[in-house]
Amino acid sequence: MTDQQANSERLQRALGYQFADKSLLQLALTHRSVGGRNNERLEFLGDSIVNHIIAEALYRQFPDAREGDMSRMRASLVKGDTLAEVARELDLGEHLLLGPGERKSGGKRRGSILADGLEAVAGAILIDSDVAACRNCVLTWFRERLDLLSLDGADKDAKTLLQEYLQGRRSPLPEYELLGVVGEDHEQQFYVACRIAKPVLVVEGDGSSRRKAEQAAARTALARLETHGKSE
């Protein structure tokens, strides 16, 4: 197996889907900076199907929710920042195909490119299979975020609370770095660092997924900041 094939297999395991037509996956990962044949059409399709799947999930999960409530929750899940977060958790950036200029400017880490790539992958899964298979994948990618939602928004996750805490004090947003992954595929433990520039603070967190590790680190950082604020 070549390195390219191994990388493709690793990504497909992370996505939770094996492509029958591998060229669709390659097309979904190809940014427009590469040339005329790129992922923009798949992104267009993926944007629609992700919105549909999330809307349907919210409709079923919150039978008493009003239209406005569901619109608010859907917007929080399908906005670019959230899509980029999901893409990072899937390590999608390392598999994107970019033109020389985008590669040099750090395109694999750019939120808009990651978000577009994730939507393109969802579109590719839809074309390669059907709505049911695409739904299974998208709901798996968003499951933890869906589980954290509530109608009153009172139980915001730690990362959101930390971001709001820092924004309220005009401080730079936190940065998260994956430090390592330990264990077999079915029983992995992720270790993440959360770095804050002002006030200077570095904490670590761990969990059974990258998102859970980031949440754990954010909870620790928030607790430290709140304790520090009370002592001032």
Residues classed as catalytic: 47, 119
End-to-end, the C-alpha distance of the chain in Å comes to: 59
The angle subtended at Cα 52 by Cα 159 and Cα 77, nearest 5°, is 10
Rounded to whole angstroms, what are the CA distances from 81 to 76, 114, 127? Answer: 9, 9, 25
Burial bucket for residue 65 (CB in 10 Å: 0-12, 13-18, 19+): middle
The verdict on whether residue 206 carries a ligand-binding annotation is no
Residue 116 among known ligand-binding residues: yes
Which helix (H) or strand (E) segment holds residue 168: the answer is: helix 158-168
Total residue count of the chain as it appears in this document:
232
Residue 94, annotated ligand binder? Answer: no
Binding-site residue set: 43, 116, 119
Binding-site residue set for Mg(2+): 43, 116, 119
